[in-house]
């Protein structure tokens, strides 16, 4: 699992179209076409072939908890983001990992998860302080 984490002043997303790649993609039903959040930690997450879902989930949730404590905000946004790897897990594993992260982070945090299986417009208004952006591999 790979992740880009950002401390954002503002986050917005809008589902534009459903994805047709990779070949096995099964987009979720679109319940919210648009989302937004203020003062949040945004995690762009890629799940890779061979990832141990439980181990990766534990690692990313620990890192998200640490970052949210450091920046003083409990808002967490989880965004599926297939662009960090060429070795993508199948979509069922990807969705399983995102759901695991969301469920684990719901304890003490306000969690939002972006739509899985779509092309999205994305706005990240990132704070400009040390530690505002982090890349992690789990």
Local confidence pLDDT in tens for the 138 residues of the chain: 999 999 999 999 999 999 988 777 889 999 999 999 999 999 999 999 999 999 999 999 999 999 999 999 999 999 999 999 999 999 999 999 999 999 999 888 999 999 999 999 999 999 999 999 999 999
pTM of the model: 0.94
Phi, psi of 67 (to 5 degrees): -65, -40
CA distance 34 to 23: 25
**Predicted pLDDT at 25:** 86
- CATH architecture type of domain 15-28+52-131: 3-Layer(bba) Sandwich (3.50)
**53, two tokens:** 């879902």
Token pair of 123 as six digits: 């706005």
Instruction: Give Cβ neighbours of residue 31 (< 8 Å, ≥ 6 apart).
Output: 115
Q: What is the pLDDT of residue 137?
A: 97
CA distance 84 to 106: 25
Token couple for 124: 């990240």
Tokens of 110: 């306000």
pLDDT of res. 26: 85
Q: What are the φ and ψ backbone dihedral angles of 63, each rounded to 5 degrees?
A: -70, -40
Cis bond upstream, residue 135 (ω within 30)? no
Q: What are the residue ranges spanned by the domains of the chain?
A: 15-28+52-131
DSSP 31-72: S-SEEEEEEEEEEEEE-BTT--HHHHHHHHHHHHHHHHHHHT
């Amino acid at each position: 699992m790979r992740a880009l984490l950002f401390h954002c002043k503002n986050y917005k997303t809008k589902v534009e179209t459903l994805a047709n790649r990779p070949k096995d993609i099964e987009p979720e039903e679109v319940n919210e076409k648009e989302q937004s959040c203020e003062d949040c930690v945004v995690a762009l997450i890629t799940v890779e072939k061979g990832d141990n879902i439980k181990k990766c989930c534990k690692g990313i949730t620990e890192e998200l908890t640490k970052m949210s404590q450091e920046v003083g905000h409990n808002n967490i946004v989880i965004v599926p983001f297939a662009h960090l790897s060429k070795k993508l897990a199948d979509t069922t594993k990807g969705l399983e990992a995102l759901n695991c992260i969301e469920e684990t982070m719901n304890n003490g945090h306000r969690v939002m998860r972006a739509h899985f299986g779509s092309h999205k417009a994305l706005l990240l208004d990132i704070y400009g302080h040390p530690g505002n952006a982090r890349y992690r591999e789990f």
